[in-house]
Amino acid sequence: MKLQKENEVSLNQEAYEDVFQPVTQWLTFLLGEQKYAVKVLQVQEVLRYTPITPVPGAPFEVVGIINLRGNVVTVVDVRMKFGMPAQEVTDLTRIMMMDVQGYIIGCMVDSVTEVIDLNDNEVESAPDVSNSGNSVFIQGIANIENELHILVNLDKLLTEEELEMLGK
């Protein structure tokens, strides 16, 4: 009888853990055919592409600046930051306004797709495949319906020096 009671407690604990796993919402976006995701909590808003004013002497991944309701916001081309070739702007191109370590930065992506919920146990650690340090901003990998999503850690996407320069 005591063994049965312990098994019931164990099963109840497992059921509780299955139901109450910490869940994080992620906004997914595309760069080419690859799916990426950022934490929804860091997304201020998503804008349709708007003309961007180039800034002479800015780092190569900085597309320029936009005026967002009276505030000047720097826009970074995430493709360039990830070492991917540039792509023509389309009707699907979006600028995600992100809170990165207290700075509002625009992140230009090919398209924004959906919001997904991920349990912590659905996130696998990212393999270290780069010797250039570019993989430092990859937080993890999630396999959702047989599609790999690369989870991006925005706090590591830009260095402290880059953030200070872009936030000015």
Give all domains of the chain, ordered by start, each with its CATH number. Answer: 24-166 (2.40.50.180)
As a whole number, mean pLDDT of residues 112-121 equals 89
Tell me: the pLDDT tens digits for 45-56? 999 999 999 999
Check pLDDT > 80 for residue 150.
Answer: yes
Whole-angstrom distance, CA of residue 26 vs CA of residue 110: 17
pLDDT of residue 17: 55
Under the banding of pLDDT at 50, 70 and 90, the label for residue 153 is confident
Whole-angstrom distance, CA of residue 88 vs CA of residue 125: 32
Q: Which amino acid would we find at residue 101?
A: Q
As a whole number, mean pLDDT of residues 147-154 equals 88
Q: What is the pTM of this model?
A: 0.79
Could you tell me if 115 and 27 are in contact, meaning their C-beta atoms sit under 8 angstroms apart?
yes
Encoding tokens for residue 62?
Answer: 């900085």
Whole-angstrom distance, CA of residue 113 vs CA of residue 67: 25
Instruction: Identify each DSSP E strand in the chain by its residue range.
Output: 23-31, 34-39, 43-48, 62-68, 71-77, 94-100, 103-109, 111-119, 123-124, 138-144, 147-152
